[in-house]
Amino acid sequence: MSTPIAESPNTPAEATDVTFSVRNLWKVFGKNADKVVGTDLEKADRETITAQTGATVAVRDVSFDVRPGEIFVVMGLSGSGKSTLIRCLTRLIEPTSGRILLDGEDVEQAGEQRLRELRRRKVAMVFQHFGLLPNRKIIDNVAYGLEIRGVGRAERYERAREMIEMVGLGGQENSRPGQLSGGMQQRVGLARALAVDPQVLLFDEPFSALDPLIRRDMQDEVLRLQKELDKTAVFITHDLQEALKLGDRIAIMRDGELVQVGTPEEVVGRPANAYVADFTSDVARTTVLTARWLMREAFPEEETDGPSVEPGTVLSQVLPLLASSVAPVRVEENGELLGFVGRDDVLRAIAEDQLEEEGAFEAIVEDNAEDLPDAAAEDGHGETAPTGNGG
Amino acid sequence: MTQPARTPSGAATGDGEGVWRRSWFQALVVLAVLVAGYWVSRTAGHPSWAGGFPTGIGDSFMAWLDGIYAWIVQNRNDSPLFLYFFNYVSVGLGSAVVLINQALDALTWVGVTALGVLSAWRAAGWRVALLVLATFGVFALTGLWNASMTTLALIITSVFIALLFGLPLGILAGRSERFHRRLRPALDFMQIMPAFAYLLPFVLLFGIGNPAAAVITAVYALPPVVRITALALREVDRGAIEATTSLGSTPWQVLTKVQLPLAKRTILLGINQTIMLAVSMVVIASVIGAGGLGDAIFQALSKVNVGQAFQAGLAIVMLAIAMDRVTGAVGNGAHTPRVPERLRLPVLGGGLLAVLATVVIGRSFDLGGWPRNWAVDIAAPVNAVNDAIESAVGGATSAMGTWTLEWVLAPLSQVLTGSPWWLVVLVAAALGWIFGGVRVAVLSAGSFVLVGLLGVWDNAMDTLSQVLVASLLTLALGVVLGVLMSRNDVFATILRPVLDAMQTLPPFVYLIPAVALFGIGRVPALAAAVIFALPPVIRLVNDGIRGVPAGAVEAADSQGSTKWQMLTKVQLPLARGSLLLAVNQGIILVLSMVVMGALVGAGSLGFDVVFGLAQNQLGLGLASGLAIVGLGLFLDRLTQGRRASHA
């Protein structure tokens, strides 16, 4: 399990085109932290390690790349080490071992001065509990990052006002954090992070403390800002729906390890193991899987004059088209034909969804193995998963 | 003997374990052994193997200390350490006190009053400003204006020193866990040490008078500001620190822009406590020659002039309450008048101008301190009232006093001093083991042996007997009143401000009513100790019971508990932590007061400290002071129970 998880095969590792490159990152808490990595204990499970050394493994041999402009979501349950992981990226928590490259620069090697410089200019973070200063006005909270790097008052206030406007809090400049609702406070947190114009935004479960409706608003806000400002983001969450909504790619973490890294479709469609499958079993596949995911070559003698869709269309939007047409839909991108999706394909995808939910999927698959030749390969334990295949 | 049988949940003890496994039963057995030992020793005619602690070592120790003292006195003006350090500090502090005193004088009494009242208004609103005005009024009308100004100057000097060292120490301790761990035992020790025990070592270094008083007061007042500053920094929202660190703040920026601003309120409360401790110590320091209000009480008490003591006591009480309200209001900011930001400077300027004008006017009329002949003498009427009270209830109180002395204090003291010393040491160790485990047992035995080695065994046992009696009384009264307070909201509302006021008063003033009622001797000291230690005990019991989770009470109610069952089976067991703390605090406070009772004739260790000071017998004084510390350590650790061993 400790082998680094490779990127999806269709993404060659181009060293220059990576914002964050994390390799073999470990974080072990406790007195004997240095007695775990590189020893025989390295491969033991968490409980054994704690029993033998008293140390707690929070992050275990994690490797991944974050590409410029993408939202990279790390998802896991509480205690999976995801919050520790994101803090290691700017050494708010000092990693035990491993390498972190930010734009090719080794973060581990950075001196105190340089590290502060990185935090002040390149990477900004948004926190679950906001971390605002209750004694300062909103505008001074937002301007904090500029203030500590010595930007003059007039200039930093101008920038802060812009940011406050951008997150939709115009007019609240002189309020104090205590006077705002949780959602508004998190907007302040977001504005504070954006004010320093960082290249990368780190989100540590930023919306977990918010009510569901406000959470949805804030998620839309992040997507909007992401599109407008073209930032790279690492986003931690324990909410799969949130991960699927925001993530360009999702890393699923369990007991400190990355179990699977992939696009939302890959995670839902080809879970790397039973844990991920179980995790994603509640997801309505029709809202995640896209035409691209299901498309295939045309069968011989099949009609090919169905309606056409973009490859990124999710199944739930393909369904009405199929309902009104006997022919499979054509998947086209910029006028180029990529493949077809027929009623059977969609039905199968939905069936997997329904049956899995009832826990009867395996049995049915066996019964219908001949009818559904692909099903076995696509169940939760499929060999064809694009990830987890080592090196 | 069996393993100390205290289970984590006090309520669950018993049931199938038998009564002999309970710690109170074991303690009773141990005490019975002590009494039996005393009886055996007495019937055997107190043979030398079963008597008090041999005094040989103690005597030579005192002689050795006296030698040191003689050396210091001889070399005070030659030794470079004194010449270039202590004497400088001493002179510097002395002149600081004098300077502040002169400055207050130069402001004239009208100027000081205007300054005090205006700053009180700005910091704490008009109610407190009126209180401050009343305080200055009392200073003036009692004819104690000059003494009050000296006390004020002493307080300012010592608080300044305490903050000068305390704030940085607190900040360091707040930022570094390692530093905090090292500092904590020292602070603990300083806080259980009775004020009286502080006096001698400093006299040794700084001589008698205001400089020594300022240093002692500063040292005595130091712990709260260090502790609370450290705590305040630690309690700053970790999220805020992490967030600002993630934006690239330097450690200095985190401290000045995040930690200190967010911890400001709490730190100010720590400063408030430090000031209050300074107020109480400045009064006690009159014993080593500090001037001011404390001296006035000291003189009056030694002449048993209740009226005069009352006057000075009133001035101190007003001073303490006013100081507490002003600095407390700065801390919680509740009543600070809202002045719009743009008006702040004009208000400040206007206030300064007003003060300046008052001073100029005052000086042009050649005013200085309050003229003495304008004073209203309330000493005579108070004395008359006191005499009237005495003739009315004097018989009753003196009978009560005699009874307590004859039937409680004297026998107990006899058991402790008359038993073989090694038996007393063993009993102390056994009690330590029962209530706190092996470490406390060793420490208890150690403190008793130390007390013996110091050569003040008999006096220490006498003091201990007074402490035990006063503590039992305090705890009995405190638990009853605390329970009543927790069950009756009306009573609580009435009692709370009274307790507040009582807790702000310097311990010294508690001696005054005690003397008025019981005259001179051990009983008034005992009474003063009980009154002094009662408020925190009542408060802790009340808080503990009120802090019991409502769910538990509701559940017990739903099963049909009577009020008594609720109290004994749910509330008291669940409030155990607070109760233990109440016992601990009560006993420590009683000890510090009993020792101070020497000033009203309680004798024993406290008297030796005062006598040692007065007669330049450093050996006796210091040995007694150390013995007080030993007793304090024993009582503290014994009543801290398992908490200490967990820490």
pLDDT of residue B8: 42
pLDDT of residue A384: 39
Query: What domains lie within chain A, and their CATH numbers?
Result: 66-272 (3.40.50.300), 285-378 (3.90.1280.20)
| pLDDT, mean of residues A354-363 | 50
CA–CA min distance B185, chain A (Å) = 24
pLDDT, greater one: B599 or A237: A237
d(CA A131, CA A204): 11
What is the chain B residue with the closest CA to A86? Answer: B246
Joined tokens for residue B102 = 């002169």
- B240 near A CB under 8 A: yes
| pLDDT, mean of residues B299-313 | 79
d(CA B173, CA A162): 40
0.85 surpassed by complex ipTM = no
Chain A residues in contact with B239 by the CB 8 A cut-off are 127-131
Question: What percentage of chain B has pLDDT greater than the value 90?
Answer: 2
How does pLDDT run across A35-78, given as a tens digit for each residue?
Answer: 777 777 777 788 888 888 888 888 988 999 999 989 999 998 88
Work out the pLDDT band at B335, boundaries 50, 70, 90.
Answer: low
pLDDT, greater one: B332 or A319: A319
Phi, psi values for residue A106, rounded to 5°? -75, 110
d(CA A26, CA B457): 62
Give the range among B9-18, B379-388, B401-410, B447-456 with minimum mean pLDDT.
Answer: B9-18
Work out the pLDDT band at B334, boundaries 50, 70, 90.
Answer: low
Q: Residue A54: which region, alpha, beta or left (left: phi > 0; alpha: psi -120 to 50)?
A: left
pLDDT of residue B23: 76
| pLDDT, mean of residues B513-542 | 84
Torsion angle in degrees (nearest 10) through CA of B405, B411, B416, B419? 150
Total residues belonging to chain B: 647
pLDDT of residue A356: 53
| pLDDT, mean of residues A203-214 | 87
Return the number of CB contacts < 8 Å for A and B.
Answer: 74
Give the range among A266-275, B79-88, B503-512 with minimum mean pLDDT.
Answer: B79-88
Question: Within 13 Å of residue B486, how many CA atoms lie on the same side as its CB?
Answer: 23
Say if residue B476's pLDDT is above 60: yes
* Closest CB from A92, A121, A124 relative to B242: A92
Work out the pLDDT band at B373, boundaries 50, 70, 90.
Answer: low
Q: Do A145 and B248 touch (CB under 8 A)?
A: yes
Other Cβ atoms within 10 Å of A350 Cβ, number? 17
Question: Within 13 Å of residue B122, how many CA atoms lie on the same side as its CB?
Answer: 16
Q: What is the largest CA-CA distance in chain B?
A: 85
d(CA B22, CA B29): 11
Q: Where are the alpha helices (DSSP H) in chain A?
A: 46-53, 82-89, 112-121, 138-142, 144-148, 153-166, 182-195, 212-229, 240-246, 264-269, 274-280, 291-294, 315-323, 343-358, 361-367, 375-378
Say if residue A379's pLDDT is above 60: no
How does pLDDT run across A154-190, given as a tens digit for each residue?
Answer: 999 999 999 999 888 888 889 988 899 888 899 999 9
Chain B residues in contact with A102 by the CB 8 A cut-off are none
Residue A259 makes CB contacts below 8 A (sequence gap 6+) with A5, A252, A253, A272, A273, A275, A276, A388
Chain A residues in contact with B245 by the CB 8 A cut-off are 92, 119
Joined tokens for residue B500 = 């507040």
| pLDDT, mean of residues B121-140 | 82
Say if residue B537's pLDDT is above 80: yes
Q: Do B239 and A92 touch (CB under 8 A)?
A: no
Chain A residues in contact with B237 by the CB 8 A cut-off are 129, 131, 134
Other Cβ atoms within 10 Å of A109 Cβ, number? 11
- B257 near A CB under 8 A: yes
* Closest CB from B241, B242, B247 relative to A196: B247
Say if residue B329's pLDDT is above 60: yes
| pLDDT, mean of residues B407-423 | 78
Joined tokens for residue A147 = 């203030």
Say if residue B395's pLDDT is above 50: yes
Pick the closest to residue A248 from A23, A101, A73, A77 (CA basis).
Answer: A73
CA–CA min distance A124, chain B (Å) = 6
| pLDDT, mean of residues B373-400 | 71
Pick the closest to residue A205 from A116, A100, A84 (CA basis).
Answer: A84
Say if residue A353's pLDDT is above 70: no
Q: Do A92 and B246 touch (CB under 8 A)?
A: yes
Work out the pLDDT band at A363, boundaries 50, 70, 90.
Answer: very low
Chain B residues in contact with A130 by the CB 8 A cut-off are 239, 243
Work out the pLDDT band at B19, boundaries 50, 70, 90.
Answer: low
pLDDT of residue A71: 92
pLDDT, greater one: B165 or B7: B165
pLDDT of residue B39: 78
| CA end-to-end distance (rounded Å), chain B | 26
Q: pTM for the full model? A: 0.75
Say if residue B505's pLDDT is above 70: yes
Residue B633 makes CB contacts below 8 A (sequence gap 6+) with B189, B192, B443, B447
| pLDDT, mean of residues A86-112 | 89
B451: part of which helix (H) or strand (E)? helix B438-453
| pLDDT, mean of residues B61-75 | 74
Q: Where does residue B641 rank: exposed (0-12), middle (13-18), buried (19+ CB within 10 A)?
A: buried
Q: Do B248 and A125 touch (CB under 8 A)?
A: no
Three-class SS state of A340: strand
Report the range out of A178-182, B85-89, B616-620 with the highest average pLDDT.
Answer: A178-182
Whether residue B148 contacts residue B369, with contact meaning beta carbons closer than 8 Å, is answered with: no
Cα Rg of chain B, angstroms = 26
pLDDT of residue A157: 93
Say if residue B48's pLDDT is above 70: no
- A131 near B CB under 8 A: yes
| pLDDT, mean of residues A335-348 | 82
CA–CA min distance B244, chain A (Å) = 8
Give the range among B144-148, B169-173, B248-252 with minimum mean pLDDT.
Answer: B144-148
Q: Please, which residues bridge with residue A290 across strands?
A: A314
Chain B residues in contact with A147 by the CB 8 A cut-off are 257
Say if residue A2's pLDDT is above 60: no
Interface test with B, best of A87, A102, A119 (most B CBs within 10 A): A119
Whether residue A174 contacts residue A139, with contact meaning beta carbons closer than 8 Å, is answered with: yes
Say if residue B259's pLDDT is above 60: yes
What is the chain A residue with the closest CA to B243? Answer: A131
Work out the pLDDT band at B190, boundaries 50, 70, 90.
Answer: confident
pLDDT of residue B369: 60
pLDDT of residue A160: 93
B388: part of which helix (H) or strand (E)? helix B379-403
Q: What is the largest CA-CA distance in chain A?
A: 73
* Closest CB from A87, A124, A148 relative to B249: A148
Chain B residues in contact with A149 by the CB 8 A cut-off are 248
Say if residue B360's pLDDT is above 70: yes
Q: Do A133 and B248 touch (CB under 8 A)?
A: no
**Single-letter amino acid, residue A338:** L
| Average pLDDT across chain A, whole number | 80
Report the range out of A35-44, B152-161, B410-419 with the highest average pLDDT.
Answer: B152-161
Report the range out of A241-255, B443-457, B552-566, B568-582 with the highest average pLDDT.
Answer: A241-255
**Edge-to-edge strands, sheet with A336-341:** A308-309, A329-333, A336-341
Work out the pLDDT band at B98, boundaries 50, 70, 90.
Answer: confident
pLDDT, greater one: A135 or B203: A135
Three-class SS state of A25: strand
Work out the pLDDT band at B7, boundaries 50, 70, 90.
Answer: very low
How does pLDDT run across B224-246, given as a tens digit for each residue?
Answer: 889 889 888 888 888 888 899 88
